[in-house]
Structure formats: structure tokens, C-alpha cells
Amino acid sequence: MVTTLPLSQMTTSDKLAALEELWDDLSRVSENIPAPSWHDDVLQAREKRIQDGASSFTEWTEAKRMIRDRVK
């Protein structure tokens, strides 16, 4: 099935709403969406950084505060 959207006539808000609707639908059946092969490479590299002590973790509440401070 091919669906064509009138992208040139849609506002940014309309486009974002369409993206959210698509994402919501896709996320309901995420097991049907294969992860790209490069995801495994990234995960392995991150695991190695953790094992080597080159990466650290931050509590989620602290990470959110740090992000908010950065975008102010």
C-alpha cells in the first residue's frame, strides 16, 4: 500500500503529528521491526568502554537536570 501525504501543504505541526502517529503505531509491534546491524556494533563499543572504565553512569534525575541546564 502506498500512501502519499501532501507534505508541501502540511505545516510543521501537521508533519510532527503524523510522525507521532506513525511512531505510536510502530511501537505497538516493535518486535516486528528489526534492529539495524550497526546497533550491535554500537552496543559492543559501549560495553567495551564500560569494561575499560572509559564510560560512567549518571542517575536519570541528575542526567535530566544536566540536560536542562545545558539547553537553558
Task: State if pTM tops 0.85.
Answer: no
Which pLDDT does position 5 carry in this prediction? 93
Q: In a structure prediction context, what are the per-residue pLDDT tens digits for the chain, which is 72 residues long? A: 899 999 999 999 999 999 999 999 988 887 888 889 999 999 999 999 999 999 988 999 999 999 999 998
Task: Report how far apart, in Å, the C-alpha atoms of 50 and of each of 10, 26, 35, 40, 72 are.
Answer: 44, 31, 22, 15, 30
The three cell numbers locating residue 5:
501525504
Which pLDDT does position 31 carry in this prediction? 83
